[in-house]
Chains A and B, each alone.
Chain A
């Protein structure tokens, strides 16, 4: 029993270090990939996304398995908890698909005038007024 207790304590420390390292790795990939660490160096977006999602799912797997003790529960209990989450697979695909469709529709229903005129265009008089107002800011 005492031996079990010592092993269990070590698992907690190992888990803490592992989760911290995975988090640091995620942030490092995000910053490296978006050019914050080596200027001018970028990673492809699909690689960043894949790495982030993969590492986060691994963290979730570890927290549920070890910290929430799910790995040591009866098989029926584990499947009754995990299988319903398969519903989310379709929910994610469907709603992201729908989301990009909304964006497409917003584009489609613009008048030719709106499509031509992106953003707020101002004239020289308005520009003068803004420059006068903000000249003390620099």
Chain B
């Protein structure tokens, strides 16, 4: 009976061994590469869970901060440049993904010097990206005072006229429409919510935005940044191993570089969706 089953197995016809006896690769990929793929999948589901949570919370509140208003600063004190800085960051990460592909290609032709060079380029790109993210966080924390429980970015839900200025972009007498964005600043360490008069004649204070925005932003971009940091550490270890000639002895076309490459591209892949959800939608 068991003989009949092994004869029907197509793998047996080719290799003379049954699939379950080991020694054959139905997916034509090594164990390590396959497991890297399945790790990436499980990590992708974790990120998907976070981003879907962002969507659900965003759908549950009447207003949400406008990304091109929140992310409009640029190093050197510039402001009013919506999304320009994050576009540069994204470009740096994509470029580091491309240099990673070059490292894998050099590995396949067993060119040690090439692999080391392109791995170093990838590390440089990843570090620049991480530096940019640090700058962005610094701006949000120190200048704009967004925390995980307080969010000074919001949009008006009704029309009105400001009764005072905030020393930044708002002057007394300015009018606004529903949907217009604002940022509540701090004066001497205290929140300075600007009073305004509604069309009905009531006097109200600027409201804070949905607090979940700050928590979600720091948590999700922080989780991604932590992946970049781990990736950089792994890349550094692999680069040292390559330079020391460890993988030359293995004669498998620098498969380790290919595996860490998969992880690095995944970090880029996740950024595509973090960028979509936080900055574009």
Q: Which residues of A contact B (CB under 8 A)?
A: 1, 5, 8-9, 12-13, 15-16, 19-20, 23-24, 26-27, 30-31, 34, 36, 49, 52-53, 56, 59-60, 63-64, 66-68, 73-74, 76-77, 80-81, 84-85, 88, 91-92, 95-96, 98-103, 106, 118-124, 127, 130-131, 133-135, 137-138
Other 5 A-B pairs with CB < 8 A, given A20-B91, A91-B48: A9-B102, A27-B280, A56-B272, A67-B100, A120-B204
Contact A92 B165 (CB under 8 A): no
User: Main SS of chain B's interface residues?
Assistant: helix
Q: Check A119/B207 contact, CB under 8 A, given A16-B94, A98-B56.
A: yes
* Partner pick for A23 among B91, B109, B195, CB 8 A cutoff: B91
Contact across chains for A12 and B203 when beta carbons are under 8 A apart:
no
Check B78 for interface membership: any CB of A closer than 8 A.
Answer: no
A-B contact pairs, 12 of them (CB 8 A): A27-B87, A30-B68, A68-B261, A68-B266, A77-B34, A88-B48, A99-B59, A99-B60, A100-B59, A102-B60, A121-B202, A127-B203
Nearest chain A CB to B28 CB, angstrom units: 5
Query: A92 to chain B: which residues have CB within 8 Å?
Result: 52, 55
A30 touches B83 (CB 8 A): yes
Q: Considering the complex, which residues of chain B in the window 30-54 have a beta carbon less than 8 Å from any beta carbon of chain A?
A: 34, 37-38, 41, 44-45, 48-49, 52-53
Is the pair B187, A84 in contact by a Cβ cutoff of 8 Å? no
* A73 and B29 in contact, given A16-B98, A84-B41, A121-B204 (Cβ under 8 angstroms): yes
Q: Which residues of B contact A123 (CB under 8 A)?
A: 203
Q: Nearest B residue to A20 by beta-carbon distance?
A: B91
A53 / chain B contacts, CB cutoff of 8 Å: 276, 281
* CB-nearest residue of chain B to A59: B272
Q: How far is the CA of A99 from the CA of B101 in the complex (A)?
A: 40
B157 CB–A CB distance under 8 Å: yes
Chain B CB within 10 A, most for which of A8, A127, A137 = A137
Asked if B87 and A77 make an inter-chain contact with CB atoms under 8 angstroms apart, the answer reads no
On B, residues with C-beta under 8 Å from A are 26-29, 34, 37-38, 41, 44-45, 48-49, 52-53, 55-62, 66-68, 82-84, 87, 90-91, 94-95, 97-98, 100-102, 105, 109, 157-158, 163-167, 171-172, 187, 192-195, 202-205, 207, 261-262, 265-266, 268-269, 272-273, 275-276, 279-281
**Residue among B28, B105, B165, B280 with most chain A CB within 10 A:** B280
| Interchain CB contact under 8 A, B68 and A12 | no
Q: Which residues of B contact A5 (CB under 8 A)?
A: 105, 109
Specify which chain A residues have a CB less than 8 angstroms from the CB of B62 in the assembled complex. Answer: 103
Task: Name A35's closest neighbour in chain B (CB-CB).
Answer: B68
A94 to nearest B CB, angstroms?
9
Chain A nearest CB: distance from B144 CB in Å? 17
Q: Is the CB of A122 within 8 A of B204?
A: yes
CA distance A23 to B91 in the complex (A): 8
Query: For the complex, what is the distance from the CA of A96 to the CA of B55, rounded to whole Å?
Result: 6
Contact A120 B207 (CB under 8 A): yes
Q: Which of B27, B56, B158, B167 contacts A138 (CB 8 A)?
A: B167
**Are A134 and B165 within 8 A (Cβ)?**
yes
Q: Write the nearest CB–CB distance from A12 to chain B, whole angstroms.
A: 5
**How many Å from the CB of B244 to the closest CB on chain A?**
25
Residues of A within 8 A of B55 (CB): 92, 95-96, 99
Please determine whether B28 and A74 come into contact, CB atoms closer than 8 angstroms. yes
Tell me the minimal C-beta distance from B111 to chain A in angstroms: 10
Contacts of B194 in A (CB 8 A): 134
